[in-house]
Amino acid sequence: MSPGRLEAFSDGVIAVAITLLVLDIHVPNPGGSLAHELGQMWPNYLALVTSFVTIGIIWINHHAMIGRLRAIDHTLMILNLLLLLTIVILPFTTSLVAEYVRESSGQHLAAAVYAGSFLVMALAFSATQRHILISRPGLLRTELSEAERRRILSRALTGLVPYAVATAIASLSAYATLLICMAIAAYYASPFASSSERPDQPTG
Amino acid sequence: MSPGRLEAFSDGVIAVAITLLVLDIHVPNPGGSLAHELGQMWPNYLALVTSFVTIGIIWINHHAMIGRLRAIDHTLMILNLLLLLTIVILPFTTSLVAEYVRESSGQHLAAAVYAGSFLVMALAFSATQRHILISRPGLLRTELSEAERRRILSRALTGLVPYAVATAIASLSAYATLLICMAIAAYYASPFASSSERPDQPTG
Amino acid sequence: MSPGRLEAFSDGVIAVAITLLVLDIHVPNPGGSLAHELGQMWPNYLALVTSFVTIGIIWINHHAMIGRLRAIDHTLMILNLLLLLTIVILPFTTSLVAEYVRESSGQHLAAAVYAGSFLVMALAFSATQRHILISRPGLLRTELSEAERRRILSRALTGLVPYAVATAIASLSAYATLLICMAIAAYYASPFASSSERPDQPTG
Amino acid sequence: MSPGRLEAFSDGVIAVAITLLVLDIHVPNPGGSLAHELGQMWPNYLALVTSFVTIGIIWINHHAMIGRLRAIDHTLMILNLLLLLTIVILPFTTSLVAEYVRESSGQHLAAAVYAGSFLVMALAFSATQRHILISRPGLLRTELSEAERRRILSRALTGLVPYAVATAIASLSAYATLLICMAIAAYYASPFASSSERPDQPTG
């Protein structure tokens, strides 16, 4: 299998998952005040945007990862499959936190599951990167120095920290967890993230 | 990342979003008169067709936009992601207007949200065009004169006006808003729109 | 826009629509006899298989149609969009006939809507073929004689007849309509259909 | 039609089906203990992961199969369509077993339907392989000895056995069936499966 086919299939799964996020936004039943009902749904909007941008960024990073490959092995296919599994469950964890963030009972657990699902996704991504960069560098298209490979991997591992913090902090405040997840998404979408990743992701 | 990959992913998201529109059309519960029940669902049919054609046209325009690129930068990827977000929410706003357009309470707001979601989509499209044509013309595949670039952008900006009108008019009549959205879709689908866009979208 | 991009987007929409058919098959609520409940759902199975094969065949035919093109014009893009719209509504009409085929009230109408949605799809396909073959043969990749072009179009038009019959006969018997739709799908999937289409669809 | 187009469409259908699996995981209604409710859903998690990995592996195998082709015939297109049909129903059978595995009434039947749906999928895959390798070896891109072709086919047929066992054993224990399906998925995802398939699936 060529890296291109693996990428096309992954793109398909990610595109479906990112679009299914909208199924979490339900039309309120007529009868009450629509403005009030739509206003009540703010956790759904925040969770939707946060998850959408986060999945969009993992898609960008996935691209950079696959773009470095010249070949694929069985382990990589399975690791990639597990990574896709962690992405596919995000519409569920997004719905969960949107539904429970204001509930007195369950809000901490729901927030922990939400941030935890991002943490697991980032772990699967790091494990896949590790397999490519450390265990099987022969899969890479171009020769990268070990220093360079370790630098890329350590950036992926660094990305785990904020999600671990967001997950841990859920026991204190579900809102704080949601806020951290939003901040992470905003950071990676900002030009700051862009310039720090430029060196090994030449565009064009 | 190559423009081709960005386009393939965008196509996937748009294809899923456009197909999810059908989930808004529910099978009536048996018991009553099916003909009556199906007839009652006319706002769903109108909203489905309007949104379907509108998304189809944004897809065509997205193609023309990406087709001019030879490279991509981080800002463009994020702007494109936000554009996709505005497309992904359309199945929700379509359901909303279909459900509320005949309700005495909520019809104006629902219509404003519907036309407003098209306006936001057109804004995201214009912002993406502006980034390419004005801020980073180096991303373009072929040299376009500044006059030509400004002409393409101004056409995108002109497209905002009817959606702004449709959104504003919702406070007067929800039906008028729906009618304007339908007229916009019909105009862009017509041969008139085609010929006015011919110069910079050669086919083949 | 190249024919390849039009085809890729169409493939995406058709792939989503054909997969959404499964959402019509619901898990019965626990409590009763599962075997009985699953047995009761036979109209859903028949309608699912019929629609799945029919969409699969329109996909094959769509491929042959796009494969003959070297260029695309605005009208073709819009006609193709309308064709996709007729495909996207099939999960709804499939659910409708599955739900109503055994109801004393509504079964005739539901069957007519089901066969009618196939008829409309076949009409949209024929209109698209007509545009390519008769109105704009310059879009074709290879020179086809007028006789050949008329032969391809007349085969598309011939395909309308059985769906028109199936729609008309719904007023007499909903089961007969379903049976005809199944027979049409089975015919096109059989080797007979294959050999009759061989001349202008060389494989490989 | 080229093998590449057949593969792209199949990838699309498989990507949608694998992602729809998440729709089976519902957010519990607020009110009770969320931890308890989420814990109660363990059959859903197991069934989701099992089906996800199984579909992922059939996707990998499908790739290897299509990758050997240089051309396609009508029968192959129809067989491939039937294979996709057996994949598209998996979100339903996955929901079914998750809902019923703990029910005193219906658990055996649900488990049989679940394993049976994998068996039918494996049968459709074997039938497609048989058509290519035995009936129409001229479709193959490279010359394979008859021994080699029979070896590939017999490996596909061998894959039927564990699913047949899992289906049969459902009459004794629904849990045993689920366990066998999980074990099959784990085996194919493991490096053991990889090395046994290496000879005719060179990567890269």
How many Cβ contacts (< 8 angstroms) between chains A and B? Answer: 94
Q: In terms of residues, how long is chain A?
A: 204
Closest-CA distance of chain A to residue B139, Å = 8
Please, what's the b/e burial string for D108-123 (b: 16 or more CB within 10 A of its CB; e: otherwise)?
Answer: bbbbbbbbbbbbbbbb
Asked if D96 and D110 count as a contact pair (C-beta separation under 8 A), the reply is yes
pLDDT at B203: 38
A51: closest CA among A20, A9, A13? A20
Q: Predicted confidence band at C1 (pLDDT cuts at 50, 70, 90)?
A: confident
The residues pairing with A30 across neighbouring beta strands, listed in sequence order, are A32
Q: Do A16 and B17 touch (CB under 8 A)?
A: no
Phi, psi dihedrals of residue D105, rounded to the nearest 5°:
-100, 120
pLDDT at D200: 40
Q: Predicted confidence band at D32 (pLDDT cuts at 50, 70, 90)?
A: confident
Q: Please, what is the average pLDDT of chain D?
A: 92
Tokens representing residue C178 in the block: 């379903």
pLDDT at B80: 97
Domain that holds residue C95: 3-200
- In angstroms, rounded to a whole number, what is the distance separating the alpha carbons of residues D186 and D50? 8
Measure the CA angle with vertex C19, ends C14 and C24; round to 5°: 125
Q: Do D203 and A13 touch (CB under 8 A)?
A: no
- Residues C102-130 have pLDDT tens digits of 999 999 999 999 999 999 999 999 999 99
pLDDT at C31: 86
Q: Do D189 and A5 touch (CB under 8 A)?
A: no
Return the DSSP state at C41: T
The residues pairing with C30 across neighbouring beta strands, listed in sequence order, are C32
Q: Predicted confidence band at D204 (pLDDT cuts at 50, 70, 90)?
A: very low
Chains within contact range of chain A (3+ C-beta pairs < 8 Å): B, D
Q: Do C88 and B19 touch (CB under 8 A)?
A: yes
Q: Is the pLDDT of residue C194 over 80?
A: no
Q: C60: helix, coil or strand?
A: helix
- For testing the chain C interface, which of D59, D73, D78, D86 should be mutated: the one with the most C CBs within 10 Å? D78
Of A166-180, A185-199, D49-63, which range is least confident? A185-199
> How many Cα atoms occupy the beta-carbon half-sphere of B135 within 13 Å?
12
Closest-CA distance of chain A to residue D111, Å = 23
Of chain A, the percentage scoring pLDDT greater than 70 comes to: 95
The residues pairing with B30 across neighbouring beta strands, listed in sequence order, are B32
**Residues in chain C whose beta carbon is closer than 8 A to a beta carbon of chain D?**
7-8, 11-12, 14-16, 18-23, 25, 27, 30-31, 33-35, 38, 48-49, 52-53, 56, 59-60, 63-64, 67, 189, 191, 193-194, 197, 201, 203-204
Beta carbons within 8 Å of A109's beta carbon, 6+ residues apart: A100, A170, D34, D35, D38
Closest-CA distance of chain D to residue C204, Å = 4
Q: Do A106 and D30 touch (CB under 8 A)?
A: yes
Return the DSSP state at D2: -
Contacts of B9 in chain A (CB under 8 A): 11, 14-15, 59
Q: Do B1 and A59 touch (CB under 8 A)?
A: no
B185: closest CA among B171, B166, B201, B200? B166
Tokens representing residue D109 in the block: 């039947």
- In angstroms, rounded to a whole number, what is the distance separating the alpha carbons of residues B144 and B132? 11
- In angstroms, rounded to a whole number, what is the distance separating the alpha carbons of residues B181 and B118? 9
Phi, psi dihedrals of residue A11, rounded to the nearest 5°:
-60, -40
> In this structure, is the dihedral angle defined by the CA atoms of residues D140, D145, D150 and D151, taken in order, positive or negative?
negative
Q: Is the pLDDT of residue D199 over 60?
A: no
Closest-CA distance of chain B to residue C191, Å = 31
Average pLDDT score over residue span D64-78 = 94
pLDDT at D201: 41
List the single residue in D with minimal CA-CA distance to C194: D74
- For testing the chain A interface, which of B5, B18, B87 should be mutated: the one with the most A CBs within 10 Å? B5
Closest-CA distance of chain A to residue B179, Å = 21
Asked if A70 and A140 count as a contact pair (C-beta separation under 8 A), the reply is yes
Chains within contact range of chain C (3+ C-beta pairs < 8 Å): B, D
Contacts of B51 in chain A (CB under 8 A): none
- In angstroms, rounded to a whole number, what is the distance separating the alpha carbons of residues A172 and A182? 17
Closest-CA distance of chain D to residue C172, Å = 31
Of chain C, the percentage scoring pLDDT greater than 90 comes to: 85
Domain total of chain B: 1
pLDDT at B97: 97
pLDDT at D197: 47
Closest-CA distance of chain D to residue A12, Å = 6
Q: Predicted confidence band at C193 (pLDDT cuts at 50, 70, 90)?
A: confident
- In angstroms, rounded to a whole number, what is the distance separating the alpha carbons of residues C139 and C70? 6
Of A80-94, C142-156, D99-113, which range is least confident? C142-156
pLDDT at B2: 87
- In angstroms, rounded to a whole number, what is the distance separating the alpha carbons of residues D16 and D21? 9
- In angstroms, rounded to a whole number, what is the distance separating the alpha carbons of residues B114 and D23? 26
pLDDT at D194: 63
Asked if B113 and B176 count as a contact pair (C-beta separation under 8 A), the reply is no
- Residues C31-76 have pLDDT tens digits of 889 999 999 999 999 999 999 999 999 999 999 999 999 999 999 9
Phi, psi dihedrals of residue C142, rounded to the nearest 5°:
-120, 150
Tokens representing residue A94 in the block: 């997004």
Q: Please, what is the average pLDDT of chain C?
A: 92
Q: Do A81 and D52 touch (CB under 8 A)?
A: yes
What is each CA distance from B145 to A95, B137, B199, C94, D58, in whole angstroms? 48, 10, 14, 52, 51
Q: Do C73 and B33 touch (CB under 8 A)?
A: no
Q: Is the pLDDT of residue A127 over 80?
A: yes
Asked if D108 and D174 count as a contact pair (C-beta separation under 8 A), the reply is yes
In chain B, which stretches have pLDDT less than 50?
195-204
